[in-house]
Chains A and B, each alone.
Chain A
Amino acid sequence: MSLLSVSDLTVKFAMRDQTVTALHDISFDLAKGERLGIVGESGAGKSITGFSLMNLLSKPGYIDSGKILFEGQDIAGMNDAQMRGIRGNKMAMIFQDPMVTLNPVLTIGQQMVETLQAHRKLSRDEAEQIAIVKLREVYIPSPEERLNQYPHELSGGMRQRIIIAMALLLNPQLIIADEPTTALDVTIQADIMELLLELCQSNKVGLILITHDLGVVSQMTERTLVMYAGRIVEAGRTREIINDPQHPYTQGLINALPQQTLPGHRLKQIPGNMPSLTSIPVGCPFSPRCSYAVDHCRTTRPEPISYGTVRVACHEVNRLHNDTPDQEKQA
């Protein structure tokens, strides 16, 4: 049985005069210890997906339909008290900016002990011992001293390590990491990602990595979802998606990587912007920006179909594939 199984998840936001759909029929599975990447532009619904899995959508947002089965239980239908037993305990989340995710007025030790005591019956000393062990696992030097320090006394990379340690405190089954390195500088990004990968592999923890960095996804994950305007446009094994993207949007993302451009040339960006949730086109949501779009794309919405080993939501995927220049296919 898979650890997490999301089927037809639809999330809506109730605005004053209308209701917009932020996520549309999202379905995916995650096996125990599996690592999944979710990629897409800003506003594609990646973070909303993360929050829905925690059942933490705040006010105007709500889960309209669909199931989120975590260890066989439906999270979408749980009340707050039941959810509290799962959050932090079996499922943990790591946020983007380590500078603001730790409470500035509590010491590292107080925050870690509080987290442990909220879920387990432990004395202060026992909790501190566990905290020290976990801090050592994320390579924090002299963890005993860190316990008495406040977040502002530590560097960004150190804080993100501590946040990872806090996420692992209760040995969760699943970690959702929402752009965990975006706010850090480049040299530390690689360290943190390596640490996260190592910890997930050694503890058999499932990981959902939300990011817009395809390079990171290719190193870290086994499977990838590509999201666009609240839908999954392509899903499959990471290697297949990176090496042989089917959907024009995924192709655009990969072509936009700086490595894909010769020095001195302009980056190949995807023209235009993602449509806002209130004005999603009738047909394929990507059609206004897609250079392959035909009339059919602008009128009917493509359903995901299996193509090779991936699932892709594009009408023209067959034609597209035949159009791919031969030398690229051989490479």
Chain B
Amino acid sequence: MSDMTTSTEPTLMRRIWDSNMAYSFRRNPVAVVSLLIFAVIALSAILAPLIAPFDPYDPAQIDIMNSEYPPVWVDGSESQFMLGTDDQGRDLWSTILYGTRLSLLIGLCAVTLQAFLGISIGLIAGYVGGRLDSLLMRLADIQLSFSTLMVAIIFLAITQAMFGSDTFNRFAVYFLIAVIGIAEWPQYARTVRATVLAEKKKEYVDSARVLGFGPMRIMVRHILPNSLSPIFVISTVQVANAIISEASLSFLGLGMPPSQPSLGSLISSGFDYIFSGSWWITAIPGIVLVVLVLVINLLGDWMRDVLNPKLYKG
């Protein structure tokens, strides 16, 4: 051990910058570009109320006479609507900003819910083992044998019928988060359980038991932090999946209402006009959705490579 590493206490930023992960990130142009694009999309979504020239939720700012203006680079456009307008006369650029915000919010919250459910169930199943493990994993198998969309469609259709359209539209965000969150927990539970089974056999767990720690503490403080790398990887993929699920459900009319469009409902509302020449209402939000999902997946791929213990053991 050299004195250099021990005598000076590097700052947290410095340590992050010097870490293997940051190094491999800097060396990977795809990851850098992906993160940049993701940061731009996420920032503009978060700052939507400041950036957007119009408020698409405010009926006073919407004029039906402005409907279906094309983007500025096409003939017959109106200069104040940069990306044109949709069928109701809303500025498409503002609506996309607000829609991305909703899509990201639903995606992230749904994944947080999935992760919470999946990690808790996976940890308990893996650590306790035996009958409880079999029971929980069979539940996961049953859940997985229904496709997410099917579960979501049935659930959302029933709630829509039960509460009526108005109430449903008001709470659509929460319903979507709940249904996407609950439908996908087995992905996490299986991954976490497999990692916990491997970690549980390691000697530091024995030594924690020998030091008199209880099962809760061993699970949460000792095993969970050692199982984080697959959780990170699966989380990026799941965020992308959740955004797609939300878009699909909204496209099918079971998600966000047209008055508060997410990317999916925007694509859906433009779909009716695509053959009348107003391609931009569908195409532009579609491109944003594809780029968003693509960069998240590329970041996930990079993370999987970095955290793969076969390539590098940290």
Binding site for B on A (CB under 8 A): 54, 56, 59, 81, 83-89, 92-93, 95-97, 100-106, 114-115, 118-119, 142, 145, 148-149, 153-155, 163, 166
Given the interface pairs A87-B212, A103-B208, A142-B6, the reply to whether A155 lies near B1 with Cβ below 8 Å is yes
A145 with B6: CB separation less than 8 A = yes
A125 to chain B, nearest CB (A): 18
Partner of A87, one of B209, B217, B226: B209
Given the interface pairs A88-B212, A105-B226, A119-B212, the reply to whether A100 lies near B204 with Cβ below 8 Å is yes
B208 CB contacts on chain A under 8 angstroms: 103
B221 CB contacts on chain A under 8 angstroms: 106, 114
A139 to chain B, nearest CB (A): 15
B213 CB contacts on chain A under 8 angstroms: 84, 88, 114, 118
A103 with B226: CB separation less than 8 A = yes
A104 with B204: CB separation less than 8 A = yes
B204 with A102: CB separation less than 8 A = yes
Given the interface pairs A101-B204, A105-B225, the reply to whether A54 lies near B1 with Cβ below 8 Å is no
B230 to chain A, nearest CB (A): 14
B204 with A93: CB separation less than 8 A = no
A101 CB contacts on chain B under 8 angstroms: 203-204, 206-207
A323 to B68: give the CA distance in the assembly, Å.
111
Binding site for A on B (CB under 8 A): 1, 5-7, 9, 129-130, 202-204, 206-214, 217, 221-222, 225-226
Partner of A56, one of B6, B7, B209, B214: B209
A100 with B202: CB separation less than 8 A = yes
B9 with A103: CB separation less than 8 A = no
Given A88-B212, A101-B207, 19 additional A-B pairs, CB 8 A: A56-B206, A56-B210, A85-B212, A87-B209, A87-B210, A87-B211, A87-B212, A95-B203, A100-B203, A101-B204, A103-B204, A104-B226, A105-B226, A114-B213, A118-B213, A142-B6, A145-B6, A148-B9, A166-B211
A100 to B203: give the CA distance in the assembly, Å.
6
A103 CB contacts on chain B under 8 angstroms: 204, 208, 222, 226
List 10 tightest A-B contacts by C-beta distance, closest first.
A88-B212, A88-B211, A87-B212, A93-B210, A105-B225, A100-B203, A101-B207, A103-B204, A84-B212, A101-B203
Instruction: Select from chain A the residue with minimum beta-carbon distance to B130.
Output: A59
A100 CB contacts on chain B under 8 angstroms: 202-204
Instruction: Select from chain B the residue with minimum beta-carbon distance to A110.
Output: B221
B211 CB contacts on chain A under 8 angstroms: 87-88, 92, 115, 118, 166
A97 CB contacts on chain B under 8 angstroms: 203
A115 CB contacts on chain B under 8 angstroms: 211
Partner of B212, one of A106, A118, A149, A155: A118
B212 CB contacts on chain A under 8 angstroms: 83-89, 118-119
B216 to chain A, nearest CB (A): 11
B204 CB contacts on chain A under 8 angstroms: 100-104
A210 to chain B, nearest CB (A): 14
Partner of B210, one of A92, A145, A154: A92
Instruction: Select from chain A the residue with minimum beta-carbon distance to B226.
Output: A105
A153 to B6: give the CA distance in the assembly, Å.
10
B8 to chain A, nearest CB (A): 11
B214 with A84: CB separation less than 8 A = yes
B208 to chain A, nearest CB (A): 7
A122 to chain B, nearest CB (A): 15
A200 to chain B, nearest CB (A): 18
Instruction: Select from chain B the residue with minimum beta-carbon distance to A152.
Output: B314
A159 to chain B, nearest CB (A): 11
A119 CB contacts on chain B under 8 angstroms: 212
A168 to chain B, nearest CB (A): 12
A95 CB contacts on chain B under 8 angstroms: 203, 206-207, 210
A163 CB contacts on chain B under 8 angstroms: 207
User: Which of A59, A96, A114, A166 has most B Cβ within 10 Å?
Assistant: A114
A149 CB contacts on chain B under 8 angstroms: 6
B6 CB contacts on chain A under 8 angstroms: 142, 145, 149
B207 CB contacts on chain A under 8 angstroms: 93, 95, 101-102, 163
A166 to B202: give the CA distance in the assembly, Å.
18
B222 CB contacts on chain A under 8 angstroms: 103, 106
